[in-house]
Amino acid sequence: MKKFLFISLLFFSISILVKGIEIFEYFPFLFSDSKKEILSQQFLNSLGKKIVFTGKMENTEKVVTIYKEGDNLVYAYGLEGKKPEIKIVGKAGKNLFKNFGGMDLEPWYHLVFKNKNYSYVITYADNNDFGPLYRLEVYKDGNLNPIFHKRLDSSTVTDAFFLDYINDEESIFYNLLQDKVPFYY
């Protein structure tokens, strides 16, 4: 009887423990030097910031993060947990645009942040054979060849921007103006 009671209590305790465990999605992102620890989405929301996209470059520790701050989207790039090397506040129609490319079977969607003579482009494509593909490219002076090109590690990508909102008429992406430079591919 004691064994039965012990096993029952053990099973009950484990089931309560398992129900209380929360599973957190990996959120690589940048914030500032004063916040070197990984900050939770709840904390960012309390500051009025909402991560809409984040991912780590393949074969590097660099991270690109897009978060919403008021009516703007902020682009941040650099080492995880450190002050961003590049930070651009994107204002729709001024320095923040969308673009499209690729073939009908595999369309590419581009989010374009412009800063002086540079264009920072985050690209998403849904390749049916390999799953979603993401990359970051930087163009200078309208040149057709990127000066920087890196794929994002899909296992680190958190995408609440492209996947959920491409065709949603109330989304940020859907309502952005299209970039007049159609050379991103």
Q: What is the pLDDT of residues 114-139, one digit of tens each?
A: 999 999 999 888 776 777 889 999 99
* pTM greater than the 0.85 cutoff: no
More confident residue, 177 or 78: 78
Q: Whose CA is closest to 132, among 104, 111, 155?
A: 155
Rounded distance between C-alpha atoms, residue 9 and residue 36, angstroms = 41
Topology (CATH) of 41-175: Lipocalin (2.40.128)
Rounded distance between C-alpha atoms, residue 28 and residue 48, angstroms = 18
